Amino acid sequence: MLDHMTASPHGTPHETPQEQAQELASQAAAALADRTGREAHDIAVVLGSGWRPAADVLCGAEGAGGFIEFPMSDLPGFLPPTAEGHGGTVRSLELGGRRVLVLLGRTHAYEGHELWRTVHAVRTAAAAGVGTVVLTNAAGGLTEGMSVGEPVLISDHLNMTMRSPLVGAEFVNMVDAYAPRLRKIVKGQKGLRPGMREAVYAMTPGPQYETPAEIHMLRTCGAGLVGMSTVYETIAARAADVEVLGISLVTNLAAGVTGEPLNHEEVLAAGAAAAEDMGGLLAELVSSEAVTSL
């Protein structure tokens, strides 16, 4: 239940946990509008481990008229991220005539929080009027030929945690969870990055990395990427009728692929090295008229 959490909404005793979570998201959206002076936003970008330099490129893109930045924890229901490389700040800017919400950092389930915390940013974005969310992450590459620093579109996911941020009889259709039309804007013949690779993303609970046996199982199941985030946010976004584009940055080759040990510093270094290209891609994506045109 939400009401025992520090930043819980003041719901009535008859409200369900889902209704309480939604009320808290509405409160956060109202506070966001107050802080930014923007009544609504059009697109949200959630940046994962090591992606902060990409945010600097995005916010400094041609046509961006400066940005407002403040700690994420200033908004109701948000906690500062504890994972290294997660900034814990909110940026609001206009680019290409669109109001863009950039969320630097996310809350992970492996930090010990309830699942509503992990999707609070996406629910807040939806309450703020966002119709499209770009979810990014750092991921291990499972497919032969993948290289460190390569961006990969998420085509589908495997929820290996077998958990959901939804509570109650909310039966959300997860077919095409990662919008095909948005993926086409990126990788189509006339897209922003023609021929960009796609793969299925597998979410594991973490925080430990996967064993070689687990990686073998995931590859057998069809996964090409593995990480510890994104899936819960995608579920919450689809429940709110928000379109999702998922982009993984391959920051390491998963256990058993190279025989080398894994570490979080490697993840951050790979993210920093690919920042300029990723920030440029996000700026092009946000500026594309097709993204917000249905």
Q: Which residues are annotated as a binding site for phosphate?
A: 49, 86, 106-108, 138, 229
**Annotated binding-site positions:** 49, 86, 106-108, 138, 210, 229, 252
Burial of 144 (0-12, 13-18, 19+ CB in 10 A): exposed
What residue numbers does the annotated binding site for a purine D-ribonucleoside cover?
Answer: 210, 252
Sign of the four-CA dihedral 185, 189, 193, 197 = positive
How far does Cα 161 stand from its chain's mean position? 17
For residue 109, the 8-state DSSP code is: G
Please give the Cα distance from 150 to 56 (Å, whole number). Answer: 19
CA distances from 74 to 35, 90, 169 (A): 10, 9, 32
Cβ neighbours for 85, distance < 8 A, ≥ 6 positions apart = 49, 50, 52, 138, 264, 267, 268, 271
> 40: which residues sit within 8 A by CB, 6+ positions away?
33, 99, 128, 129
The CA distance from 6 to 110, in Å, is 18
> Among 244, 225, 56, which residue's Cα sits nearest to residue 150?
225
Please give the Cα distance from 73 to 243 (Å, whole number). 25
